[in-house]
Chain A
């Protein structure tokens, strides 16, 4: 099968959906002629023109709010926020407006919008351009929250997000944009809320998502050399969460480590941990459920500091050893 990057897979998903459905369009800062800050939409302006690939002013609140307004009146907007850190400026529109319209209006509205945003550290962009704030949005009923870890998942999940009748936060790990993977050319959808077992194993379950999936797979590879068998489960979608798959894996291995890039305190790992501990998997556990998140600090600039703020292959291996 052909291999393309995650950025290309995302662009392919958007382009195919725009060809299929005239209500789908893209808007955001510099997404047009420039092709997006990370080059995700390069070439789309040429194919679809300025009406459907819309450059906006630097105005995150109205980007998100206008997406909600367009969605509730019949369009299916994809809004790009240049860095997920900037969703802070759009919070009212996402949390108070888009997420709640349907419920507040007694089910008489639907808000089919996708808000795409690059997420995570590792680019030397420091504290205001490197955060992983996905847990905030998981606390808001009405939103869906997705984070792919491979180009294949990115294409299928984004298509499902665009076709979904709810506001979907689609977080794209920016360090994965240039990573290649196998992606079919044909149309396919990955339903939101279905986890994927990225590596089967029997000794320890690592539940992880986004950029940390590859880090954990690399750690699993290392540990396999010592005969330690790791299962890596990627929920892919945090809201709704495929609790069934996570619990089944926990029952199977009896040991669970949750890994994410976001600060550990208040991170989504706490939710996953609680889901497992409160389930029947509890009776199968041979060790307490452990979390390995980012350090509870803003992301520092210096590359030597930055790389150790988030979990690494080494710290994942060390955390696994503590479980055994």
Chain B
């Protein structure tokens, strides 16, 4: 599959932006500058960037509590996204949502979700709209390995299959539900086999290879438009803890180190250089640019005011 250089660079840039964004957020949380909690996507960037890279502008996504990468790769104003996590009025949700509820309906992002498995059924409903209105789009439902043990996973995949809805279910298998290894939460190693019980196609791929994720999503998108839903399982790993308060004692240093060797940004960077798309210097320049983009977002967020107190009661009802 031939991928345009422009597309590859966009994907790489989205991964860089996500990494810098997350590291910056991690820093602010550690310094107590941001409050609440957050779940960072560091290490998993190839999934969001590969999947969203293969989507059409009008395609929709539902996201998860670990959703910053999805937001960035689906296209969001970084300034407003950062402002949201700062709880500012200029945030994309006016400071009402925070890290776990970032949404941008104008870009087809139907929202991150604080409930594990909360997005499955919403994706099914969005795909129902698509089918009933005969729209030319698909819906991608992002979720983690842990949520495949939720009842909503079963209900949603079953219904999507029965109604042949255009949903691509993308499981980001990072091997742990908080501290619990999938080895202790399910009796299968390959989550994609769960698709078979819904008469649905399932496939498991290396989720740290952005090019592969892109190619498989491209194929899956065509498949889903013609045949109905599919489950694509992307094996990956989060480099950081589950949330800001997780010291990660349940994972061995060796395991973490092994996965860091397979850093998705390194893998795509190497691919771009090896195939003569760019030079190492170009990558360094992109890295610098990403840092400055995030710095700009931070400056924007910091300068923004907090929402007025009288907005507390706004937007409960339409």
Q: B103–A109 contact, CB under 8 A? A: yes
Interface range for A = 35 or more
Q: A104–B93 contact, CB under 8 A? A: yes
Chain A residue numbers with a CB within 8 Å of B125 are 65-73, 77
Within 8 A of A (CB), among B286-318: 314-318
The listed residue with most B CB atoms (<10 A of its CB), out of A61, A69, A112, is A69
Q: In the bound complex, how far is the Cα of B91 from the Cα of A111, in angstroms?
A: 21
Q: B316–A73 contact, CB under 8 A? A: no
Q: A142–B110 contact, CB under 8 A? A: no
Within 8 A of A (CB), among B106-133: 106, 110-111, 113-115, 117-118, 120-130, 132-133
In the assembled complex, A283 has its CB within 8 A of some CB on chain B = no
In the assembled complex, A92 has its CB within 8 A of some CB on chain B = yes
Q: B110–A107 contact, CB under 8 A? A: no
Q: In the bound complex, how far is the Cα of B129 from the Cα of A69, in angstroms?
A: 8
How many Å from the CB of A164 to the closest CB on chain B? 8
Chain B residue numbers with a CB within 8 Å of A65 are 118, 120-122, 124-125, 152, 156
Q: In the bound complex, how far is the Cα of B94 from the Cα of A142, in angstroms?
A: 17
In the assembled complex, B23 has its CB within 8 A of some CB on chain A = no
Q: A57–B158 contact, CB under 8 A? A: yes
Q: B159–A75 contact, CB under 8 A? A: no
Q: In the bound complex, how far is the Cα of B156 from the Cα of A101, in angstroms?
A: 19
Q: B118–A92 contact, CB under 8 A? A: yes
> Given A61-B121, A62-B155, A65-B125, are A166 and B93 neighbors across the interface (CB < 8 Å)?
no
How many Å from the CB of A58 to the closest CB on chain B? 9
In the assembled complex, B32 has its CB within 8 A of some CB on chain A = no
> Given A72-B126, A74-B129, are A62 and B156 neighbors across the interface (CB < 8 Å)?
yes
Q: In the bound complex, how far is the Cα of B92 from the Cα of A108, in angstroms?
A: 9
Chain A residue numbers with a CB within 8 Å of B60 are 73
The listed residue with most B CB atoms (<10 A of its CB), out of A61, A64, A74, A102, is A61
Within 8 A of A (CB), among B25-55: none
In the assembled complex, A265 has its CB within 8 A of some CB on chain B = no
In the assembled complex, A271 has its CB within 8 A of some CB on chain B = no
Of the residues B96, B97, B124, B152, contact of A92 by C-beta under 8 Å: B152
Chain A residue numbers with a CB within 8 Å of B159 are 56-57, 59, 62, 66
Q: In the bound complex, how far is the Cα of B133 from the Cα of A64, in angstroms?
A: 20
Q: B95–A97 contact, CB under 8 A? A: no
The listed residue with most B CB atoms (<10 A of its CB), out of A62, A67, A110, A165, is A62
Chain A residue numbers with a CB within 8 Å of B152 are 61-62, 65, 92-93
Chain B residue numbers with a CB within 8 Å of A102 are 315-318
Of the residues A25, A62, A105, A144, contact of B105 by C-beta under 8 Å: A105
Within 8 A of B (CB), among A113-149: 141-142, 144
Q: A69–B91 contact, CB under 8 A? A: no
Q: In the bound complex, how far is the Cα of B97 from the Cα of A151, in angstroms?
A: 40
> Given A69-B126, A141-B316, are A105 and B155 neighbors across the interface (CB < 8 Å)?
no
Name the CB-closest residue of A to B162: A57
Q: B318–A108 contact, CB under 8 A? A: no
Q: B316–A97 contact, CB under 8 A? A: no
Q: A166–B155 contact, CB under 8 A? A: no
Q: In the bound complex, how far is the Cα of B123 from the Cα of A72, in angstroms?
A: 10
In the assembled complex, A51 has its CB within 8 A of some CB on chain B = yes
Name the CB-closest residue of B to A107: B315
> Given A57-B155, A57-B158, A62-B155, are A107 and B314 neighbors across the interface (CB < 8 Å)?
yes
How many Å from the CB of B66 to the closest CB on chain A? 17
Chain B residue numbers with a CB within 8 Å of A96 are 114-115, 118
How many Å from the CB of A241 to the closest CB on chain B? 14
Chain A residue numbers with a CB within 8 Å of B91 are 106
In the assembled complex, A188 has its CB within 8 A of some CB on chain B = no
Of the residues B93, B113, B155, B317, contact of A61 by C-beta under 8 Å: B155
Q: B155–A110 contact, CB under 8 A? A: no
In the assembled complex, A103 has its CB within 8 A of some CB on chain B = yes
Q: In the bound complex, how far is the Cα of B117 from the Cα of A93, in angstroms?
A: 10
A173-191, CB under 8 A of B: which get 1 and which 0? Answer: 0000000000000000000
How many Å from the CB of B104 to the closest CB on chain A? 8
Enumerate the 9 nearest inter-chain pairs by beta-carbon distance, A residue then B residue, closest first: A69-B125, A65-B121, A107-B315, A106-B94, A106-B93, A165-B318, A66-B125, A69-B122, A62-B155
| Chain A contacts to B: CB under 8 angstroms | 25, 51, 56-57, 59, 61-62, 64-75, 77, 89, 92-93, 96-97, 101-112, 141-142, 144, 165-166
* Known interface pairs A70-B126, A74-B133; 15 further A-B residue pairs with C-beta atoms within 8 A, sorted by A's residue number: A61-B152, A62-B124, A62-B159, A69-B110, A72-B110, A75-B129, A93-B152, A97-B113, A103-B315, A104-B111, A105-B97, A105-B111, A106-B91, A108-B93, A109-B105
The 6 sampled A-B contact pairs (Cβ below 8 Å) are A61-B155, A62-B120, A65-B124, A75-B132, A106-B93, A107-B314
